[in-house]
Amino acid sequence: MKTYLLVSALLFSVGLAGALTRRNAIIVLVGVELMLNAANLNFVAFWRHSADPRVLDGVMFAVFAIAVAAAEATVGLALVIAIHRHFKSANVDDASRMKG
């Protein structure tokens, strides 16, 4: 149980480090995905070690989180492509002007 939680915490931190520092918008998104997945691992681990595994809350949360992450990836990548069209770059720093 503790192992899973520690793995999840590590994954979260790695994802956070990437999302905070990388310049390419796609990699930032990848970092966010990693953080979401770390949370999912927690949900499933807590379900496994809960008092009654017939209560499916943990698993359900993981399934919904996967669906939401898919939606997030769609919109995020569409934004990246739109930004790339506009600024001719996928780097987050280059998209800092506040005018259209």
Partner 1 sequence: MDLILALLAGATVGAAVAAMALRDVVHCVLFLTVSLIGLALLYLKLGAEFVGFVQVLVYVGAVAVLVVFAVLLTRGGDAPTERIANAPWSGALVAAAVFAMLARAILGSPSLGSPSPETPVPTLSVKAIGEGLTGGYVLPLQIVALLLTAAMIGGVVIAMREKEGE
> DSSP string covering 30-54, please?
HHHHHHHHHHHHHHHHHHHTSS-TT
User: 6, 35 in Cβ contact below 8 A?
Assistant: no
Of the pair 1, 98, the CB lying nearest partner 1 is at: 1
Say whether residue 40 binds partner 1 (CB under 8 A): yes
Say whether residue 1 binds partner 1 (CB under 8 A): yes
In 3-state terms, what secondary structure has residue 15? helix
- For residue 19 the two structure tokens come to 């999302």
Task: For the segment 49-78, give every residue that binds partner 1 (CB under 8 A).
Answer: 49, 53-54, 56, 59-60, 62-64, 66-75, 77-78
Say whether residue 22 binds partner 1 (CB under 8 A): yes
Neighbours of 64 (CB within 10 A): 12
- Residue 72's identity, in one-letter code, is E
Interface contacts to partner 1, rule CB under 8 A: 1-7, 9-18, 20-24, 26-27, 29-31, 33-34, 37, 40-41, 44-45, 47-49, 53-54, 56, 59-60, 62-64, 66-75, 77-82, 84-86, 90, 93
